[in-house]
Structure 1
Amino acid sequence: MAADWLGSVVSINCGLTLGIYQGEVSSVNHKSQTISLKQPYHNGVRCPLPEVTFSAIDIKELKFLDIQKTVNKPGTGQGAATESSFTPSARHNQSNRVALPHGTSSNSHSSTAPITILRRAPTGSSNSRGATQATQKKNSVRNGGPMRTRDDECFGGGTDENMDADFDFEGNLALFDKAAVFSKIDGNGGHSNRAQHHNAQGDQKPQSYRHDENILEAKPVIYRQITVPQHGGKDYCTDSGLVVPSVPYELHKRLLAAAERWGLSLERRLETTGVCSSQMALTLLGGPNRLTPKNVHQRPTVVLLCGPHIQGAQGVSCGRHLANHGVEVILFLPNFVKMQESVTNEVHLYSRTGSKQVASVKDLPISPVDLVINCLDCHENPLLSEQSWYQSAADWANQNRAPVLSIDPATGGQHQPVEAKWTLSLGLPLPLAETESRVYLCDIGIPKLVFQEVGISYRSPFGCKFVIPLHTP
């Protein structure tokens, strides 16, 4: 009877671990309880071996997919059937289940029995071992509980599959219903709340957003958030587009006087200006790339040119903070003119840093330095620039070939004796002369209601910084 099934196409289910094999029956051995398939397929993929042999105890279920031929037996009346080529198919619903020889059914063996597959090597193979046998254990029992093999624990089952086998892309793609999936994604299937929500709104398609786009509705940005009663004649804008108007010096002076009445004294302004300007200077000098413990032999040198007025006191405060951060500071301040009390106090504190102070331009370095900070200008006395010590200091700065940072320079159409690369304004910018200098704005800590007291509608443009660049629109 075993020979009656030769040439039939069958599907053999060996469980989850070994999977499903399909192929044409090439031999059935009653004595050894084995069945062999030629040109087999394993889980839909063509096996590299021409023939695979199964033991009856390994088989969970056996189905006939197609009977290729039957053998005529006397008295049976059976004839030969036409042969057809075999391809893996899903015709399981039309197949017949049969019992295995010697009463071994497809579902009668225990799940704990070992599974053994005998694979026949190809004819003429150079492998001297001949047929190979791969044995894999399932659910072995140890100490009363299930134990998995090392491969199962690390990689799962099926580690003996041939990874070089060609994958049937067309057959696998045919199992994927793209139309149904995309219909569900687009919300046309009616199964998701999102689709029901948009269908209720008249089949409105949901709006898509970029990864960097805010999905929350926000009020439109007002870029002119600062308005002044007296305009200085020039507008600036920040990196984010906020408009910062310039103010005349008279309005700026009233603003500082109002801040002093509310407790923002001159000493506090000098300290804030010194901190912010020194932080900007440290950035211009190279920041962490220059000022490191391993770079003490290349300390940057900064020369401060200060006058005997409030602007000079701001420069001395900046020099003190730079010296505290390891910068070699040289302070130029003439001693033959009368100095304000604020300048005297700042110089007394600066002397505690051990940095150098000179009163003559002849004592300044001849070689170029890293940075020159200009604080020579005075808003109250514009004629100061005509004095000889002022002109000598300005000429030295222009000939030193070092970049210049001017802190709170003179306003209006006055000519700038010192050509500055950067200009730092305080609070609100003043109407500076037309130069190629880059304008920066410093936050000196004036509260919002103090601006309102002098008629300025103010909203801080600084954001998370204390010094921001200003651009000409």
Structure 2
Amino acid sequence: MASDWLGSLVSINCGPTLGVYQGEVSSVDQSCQTISLRQPFHNGVRCPVPEVTFSAIDIKDLKILEIRNGNTQNNSSVSTKTSSAPVAVPKGSSSSRGANQATPKKNGVKNGISQMKQRDDECFGDGMDDGLDTDFDFEGNLALFDKAAVFSEIDTSERRNGARSRGTPHEQTPSRYRHDENIIESKPIVYRQITVPQPGAKEYCTDSGLVVPSIVYELHKRLLSVAERYGLTLERRLEMTGVCASQMALTLLGGPNRFTPKNLHQRPTVALLCGPHVQGAQGISCGRHLANHEVEVVLFLPNFVKMLDSVTSELTLFSKTGGKLVSNIKDLPDTPVDLIINCLDCHENTFLMDQPWYRAATEWANQNRAPVLSLDPPISGQGQAVEAKWSLSLCLPLPLGEGAGRVYLCDIGVPRQVFQEVGIKYLSPFGCKFVIPLHSA
């Protein structure tokens, strides 16, 4: 009976032109020699119509995949000839609708929904998604790629052509570099780039590890003397020292976080304690630059009958800035200031420490509780009555004591040939800066 085949799953081969169809048998018409499949697949892809009807003349082969009618189900593929199918396959040609002339059922709303789905598939997809029932085996396909053989072939080809090899997986893994390390091969770094004939008692090093030796005061004085002979006069050195010291002081006072147009009403106050010597002139130069940067500067300098010409010249310039000059300790601020710059000490005249004005100035500084920056302090052993938090040395550092605090170095523009003339092998440790911090080696 033809009804016995209804619901079975079959595969119909219609030749190379029409292809292969699979689906569930929905109807068999023996009189018309046709068979219809519900929810058909064409060459593995779901058809856009719910039902397809085939004529016996177009069927080349028919296989029963699963018999669902009755209690017996056979999941194996059963190959049959067309004569064993429920449709008789006559010889010769006859007219039929063919596999490509699908006749959808006209069952109202269901048919309308199917037609809408068909239009959606035609507009928005090619119907391939329904056939992707299995996941792609990435691991299996990757295993087919022999990386070692491919890299070996590339390496052989590059060596033959004279090109540099990129390396193979069997080669050693290159070293990892930090963000601040140079990955390009270069000459070994020499960390001792400065050597002196008369080293001081201490050695320092920069943030990058360069060794900066200290020098004795006699060599320091001879270096400045040769520099002056070449044209680096005292006035030039005072200006360089003043600029560098003021720049360091501005940083200590807050830098760009404090010196903004919004903070003009909160101008920092700096007290400068100066003596009648070169170190005092350097402090006055620093005070002039600070005053030009809207800092409230109070300069203490005792009255002397005779002062150095450099001190007098710097005072003349400072008086034009609007800064305050006092000669009595009582005129210094009685409240803590933001910063004290100590320029009271001299390298050569240690007798100043016995003067009343010196003792009064150091006592005021120690009681003010403000941080102290010592400018060009003397070597260790000569004594410092004011304990500093920072000290700024010039050109090359002197062996400073513990009371100097953290040591910084200032570039005052001494040419390299001047160093060579006094027997110092010198390569600048400053890099892109004029003031750098030093650490005890």
TM-score (norm 1): 0.69
CA distance in structure 1 between the partners assigned to 2:37 and 2:241 by the alignment? 94
Cα deviation, residue 456, structure 1: 0.3
SS of the equivalent of 1:429 reads coil
Q: Structure 1 stretch 428-437 or stretch 344-353: which is displaced more?
A: 428-437
- Work out which of the residue numbers 322, 326, 344 in structure 2 matches 1:354: 322
More helix by share: 2
SS of the equivalent of 2:215 reads coil
> Could you give the per-residue CA deviations for residues 415-446 of structure 1, whole angstroms, max 9, x where no partner exists?
21011000000000012123360000001111
Question: Aligned partner of 2:117: which letter?
Answer: Q
- Work out which of the residue numbers 391, 394, 398 in structure 2 matches 1:430: 398
> Could you give the per-residue CA deviations for residues 93-121 of structure 1, whole angstroms, max 9, x where no partner exists?
xxxxxxx974859xxxxxxxxxxxx9xxx
> Could you give the per-residue CA deviations for residues 158-214 of structure 1, whole angstroms, max 9, x where no partner exists?
89979xx99965x432452246254367x2344675687788999971542425353
- Work out which of the residue numbers 39, 50, 53 in structure 1 matches 2:48: 53
Q: Residue 36 of structure 1 aligns with which residue?
A: 39
Q: Residue 274 of structure 2 aligns with which residue?
A: 306
CA distance in structure 2 between the partners assigned to 1:411 and 1:192 by the alignment? 67
Root-mean-square deviation over aligned CA pairs: 4.4
Give the aligned length: 384
Q: Does 1:245 align with 2:210?
A: no
CA distance in structure 1 between the partners assigned to 2:127 and 2:240 by the alignment? 70
Q: Residue 88 of structure 1 aligns with which residue?
A: none
Q: Residue 173 of structure 1 aligns with which residue?
A: 138
- Work out which of the residue numbers 6, 10, 16 in structure 2 matches 1:7: 10
Q: List aligned pairs for 1:34-433, cutoff 5 A.
A: 36-37=39-40, 53-54=48-49, 67-69=63-65, 76-78=82-84, 102=98, 130-131=113-114, 132-133=116-117, 135=119, 171-178=136-143, 180=145, 182-183=147-148, 187-190=151-154, 193=157, 205=171, 207-210=173-176, 212=178, 213-433=181-401
CA distance in structure 1 between the partners assigned to 2:388 and 2:141 by the alignment? 70
Quickly say closer, same or farther: Cα 1:168–1:337, change in 2 above 3 A. Answer: farther
Quickly say closer, same or farther: Cα 1:405–1:27, change in 2 above 3 A. Answer: farther
Quickly say closer, same or farther: Cα 1:313–1:75, change in 2 above 3 A. Answer: closer
| Percent identity of equivalent pairs | 53
SS of the equivalent of 1:297 reads coil
Q: Residue 420 of structure 2 aligns with which residue?
A: 452
SS of the equivalent of 2:362 reads helix
SS of the equivalent of 1:405 reads strand
CA distance in structure 2 between the partners assigned to 1:338 and 1:273 by the alignment? 24
Asked if the contact 1:28/1:36 (under 8 Å) is kept, the reply is no
Quickly say closer, same or farther: Cα 1:67–1:446, change in 2 above 3 A. Answer: farther
The unaligned stretches of length 5 or more in structure 2 are 1-5, 14-19, 28-32, 52-59, 68-77, 87-95, 105-109
SS of the equivalent of 2:186 reads coil
Q: Residue 19 of structure 1 aligns with which residue?
A: none
Cα deviation, residue 25, structure 1: 2.2
The unaligned stretches of length 5 or more in structure 1 are 11-21, 43-50, 57-63, 81-99, 106-117, 119-126, 139-148, 152-156
CA distance in structure 1 between the partners assigned to 2:398 and 2:334 by the alignment? 33
TM-score (norm 2): 0.74
